[in-house]
């Protein structure tokens, strides 16, 4: 009998979110049975992979990720291309993985990090920490404790009577706290939460929750840190349940339900541009202001996935078109962009 119990509180907010998500599941199931074709499943999976990798500073856009998975050549760093291929392989293997198996956990990490790090498929052998700037904001437990901590966590997951929605969020936080691998911990934590939820309800295999996490990346890390500081997973559980709820609400929204499957991938390619249009709004914004509004910290990702596509498709324009590199350059919506913003 496993005596380990991860510390967290069952708050009123958590109970409310579980109830609201449970209500959404019936509607989403009805929607997915009618419209979630193999093409749309693939499109949602690609969105999941691109968003999870973007959180880890991979700069490939949704269009580029799609091209990689279609076997096409793209202009990108070989490491980023390998990350995409590996992620697709492991997500496609979800049906063969058991969420309470340490063997499967290691095999999934092997698939995810093959060719990227030397310790792919093995627990870390040294110390790791999470840095923010020059500060270490989280120092993970010593390497020698990792196998025992993971065993306790997996045993708890196997034996707990907690609702799967809550259990998956608790597992995700505890996994990130342990940081069992030399690299790939964020990707593995999000993957494993998807696996836990998929075992409960199959629809979660194709629900792109990672896109919500990407859009709220700074809050994601803030809630991890808050849970570290309190010694309880509560804050992170509440955040993740909100992300699941929002992802499900988006999936069953009128707009998505009416989308034609043939247009799905091209529509999703513009997800980041839509966010940029909203961030620009009715005024003029600098690159720094837009990145702050979008909660992005990586300038190459912002330029490649947001700014350049929006400029090329004439959704936005420069206030100084003859001096594109001017330090006082700002951006505003075109007429086309304003019409989109006002929809």
In 3D space, the residue among 87, 40, 94 whose CA is nearest the CA of residue 68 turns out to be 87
- Give the CA distances from residue 272 to residues 249, 276, 337, in Å, rounded to whole numbers and listed in that order: 18, 6, 14
CATH number at residue 154: 1.10.3290.10
At 269 the pLDDT is 42
pLDDT per residue as tens digits for the range 62-84: 999 999 999 998 988 999 999 99
Q: Which of 228, 260, 292 is the last residue of a domain?
A: 260
Domain of 97, in residue numbers: 12-260
Say if residue 128 is in the same domain as residue 233.
yes
- Contact call for residues 294 and 279 (beta carbons, < 8 A): yes
Domain count, the chain: 2
pLDDT per residue as tens digits for the range 16-34: 999 999 988 887 776 665 5
At 227 the pLDDT is 95
DSSP 140: P
pLDDT per residue as tens digits for the range 107-146: 999 999 999 999 999 999 998 877 666 676 678 899 999 9
At 31 the pLDDT is 62
At 239 the pLDDT is 97
Helix then strand count (H, E) for the chain reads 18, 4
Q: Distance between CA 302 and CA 304 in Å, rounded? A: 6
At 85 the pLDDT is 97
- Residue 89 domain flag: yes
For the chain, list the strands marked E by DSSP: 129-132, 135-139, 316-318, 331-333
Residue 97 has pLDDT above 60, yes or no: yes
| 35 or 335, which is more confident | 335
Instruction: Tell me what percent of the residues of the chain surpass a pLDDT of 90.
Output: 62
| 267 or 240, which is more confident | 240
- Residue 54 domain flag: yes
At 89 the pLDDT is 96
At 133 the pLDDT is 65
pLDDT per residue as tens digits for the range 288-319: 999 999 888 888 888 888 898 888 888 899 98
Say if residue 216 is in the same domain as residue 274.
no
Say if residue 256 is in the same domain as residue 282.
no
Report the chain's mean pLDDT, rounded to a whole number: 88
CATH number at residue 300: 1.10.10.10
Say if residue 100 is in the same domain as residue 49.
yes
Residue 94 has pLDDT above 60, yes or no: yes
């Amino acid at each position: 009998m496993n005596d380990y119990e991860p510390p967290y509180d069952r708050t009123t907010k958590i109970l409310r979110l579980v109830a609201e998500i449970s209500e959404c599941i019936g509607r989403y199931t009805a929607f997915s049975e009618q419209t979630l074709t193999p093409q749309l499943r693939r499109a949602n999976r690609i969105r999941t992979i691109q968003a999870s990798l973007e959180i880890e500073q991979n700069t490939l856009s949704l269009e580029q990720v799609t091209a990689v998975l279609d076997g096409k050549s793209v202009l990108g760093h070989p490491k980023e291309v390998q990350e995409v291929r590996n992620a697709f392989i492991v997500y496609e293997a979800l049906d063969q993985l058991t969420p309470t198996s340490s063997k499967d956990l290691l095999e999934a990490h092997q698939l995810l990090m093959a060719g990227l790090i030397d310790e792919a498929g093995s627990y870390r052998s040294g110390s790791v920490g999470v840095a923010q700037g020059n500060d270490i904001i989280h120092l993970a437990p010593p390497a020698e404790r990792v196998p025992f901590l993971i065993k306790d966590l997996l045993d708890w997951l196997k034996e707990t009577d907690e609702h799967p929605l809550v259990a998956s969020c608790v597992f995700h936080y505890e996994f990130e706290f342990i940081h069992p691998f030399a690299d790939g911990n964020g990707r593995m934590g999000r993957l494993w939460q998807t696996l836990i939820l998929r075992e409960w309800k199959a629809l979660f295999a194709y629900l792109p929750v990672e896109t919500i996490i990407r859009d709220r990346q700074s809050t994601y890390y803030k809630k991890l840190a808050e849970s570290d500081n309190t010694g309880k997973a509560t804050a992170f559980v509440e955040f993740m349940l909100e992300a699941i709820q929002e992802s499900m609400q988006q999936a069953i929204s009128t707009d998505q339900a009416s989308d034609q499957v043939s247009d799905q991938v091209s529509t999703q390619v513009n997800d980041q541009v839509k966010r940029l249009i909203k961030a620009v709004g009715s005024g003029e914004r600098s690159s720094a202001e837009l990145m702050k509004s979008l909660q992005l910290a990586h300038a190459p990702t912002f330029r490649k996935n947001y700014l350049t596509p929006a400029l090329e498709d004439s959704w936005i324009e420069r206030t100084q078109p003859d001096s594109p590199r001017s330090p006082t350059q700002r951006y505003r919506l075109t007429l086309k962009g304003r019409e989109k913003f006002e929809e």
